[in-house]
Structure 1
């Protein structure tokens, strides 16, 4: 037979509070996911990815179509900036 236990509202609140506190402490000890750094690509890698020449890439950079970064005298491009520069062209069918 099951046993009936009478507890007060404060005792029940305390039991629930302690149980939740223990569960949250276990959850907080889990390793947090680190955001992946956005890799830089060289001019050659970027031109190869866009299937274009280095001359075209330079003119697109000068025109402001693709953002570049100069680090240690080298021109580099972020992968996310390359993806952002690509735009979809909608064609109209007649």
Structure 2
């Protein structure tokens, strides 16, 4: 660990310097911050409609591991974010 000595700096001057640096960092964060969008979950039908495929094809994609389903009770949902990422990554 590195040691820093402040010989001719008063506690007030040091606190002001720290405040200035923190304010600059916060201002940078405010300008560049992009909040996460909440993930939307779609039903099987909505997912099939989005992908323009049949429910049978969607079921096959689930079994092949192409799309990851989320189960809640007896219902199946898909993450819109993961579906779009899968589409864009499959073209590479």
The TM-score normalised by the length of structure 1 is 0.63
- Aligned-partner Cα distance in 1 for 2:34–2:84: 24
Following superposition, the deviation at residue 37 of structure 1 comes to: 2.4
CA deviations 1:13-36 (Å, max 9, x no partner) are 741x22133343794xx9886533
Segment drifting more, 78-87 vs 38-47: 78-87
- Aligned-partner Cα distance in 2 for 1:10–1:65: 61
The total of aligned residue pairs comes to 79
- Aligned-partner Cα distance in 1 for 2:17–2:73: 52
The TM-score normalised by the length of structure 2 is 0.64
| 1:21 matches 2:21 | no
Compute the RMSD of aligned alpha carbons.
Answer: 3.2
1:80 corresponds to which residue? 81
Give the helix-richer structure, 1 or 2.
Answer: 2
CA deviations 1:25-54 (Å, max 9, x no partner) are 794xx9886533211111111111101111
1:38 corresponds to which residue? 39
After TM superposition, the runs of 4+ consecutive aligned structure 1 residues lying more than 2 A away are 8-11, 20-27, 30-37
Going from structure 1 to structure 2, the CA distance change for 1:88 and 1:58 (only over 3 Å counts) comes to same
